[in-house]
Amino acid sequence: MDHSQVIIRPVVSEKSYVLAAADKYTFRVHPDAHKTQIRQAIESLFDVHVLEVRTMSVKSKPKRRGLISGRTRQWKKAIVQVRAGDSIPIFQGLEGLEG
């Protein structure tokens, strides 16, 4: 699996911005990717040193729109901790939006 296929997109939420201040970045990743692949993809794409990778599967939730009911997609999330001093530029410029 190619590095660009492992990392799908960053997760944009209030919790991910709080974690980004502590050098932890949240990404949506390929469901079949394991921690070693995620570590290698982050290190090669963003030129940072990864200390720790935590993964979790986000379960689907039931949703309704009028009489039509369905479920959201199930997806995999990875929280990546980088070395102090390293940063990922996707999350730069967003710290000023806090508060």
> CB–CB of 49/43 below 8 Å?
yes
Q: Which domains does the chain have, with CATH numbers?
A: 3-85 (3.30.70.330)
Going residue by residue through the chain (99 aa), what tens digit of pLDDT does each one get? Answer: 899 999 999 999 999 989 998 999 999 999 999 999 999 999 999 999 999 999 999 999 999 999 999 999 999 999 999 999 898 887 666 555 544
Alpha-carbon torsion angle 29, 33, 36, 38, nearest 10: -20
Smallest CA-to-CA distance from 11 within 55, 63, 64 is with 55
pTM of the model: 0.85
Q: Please work out, in degrees rounded to the nearest 5, the angle formed at the alpha carbon of residue 86 by the alpha carbons of 39 and 24.
A: 60
H or E element: which one contains 28?
strand 24-29
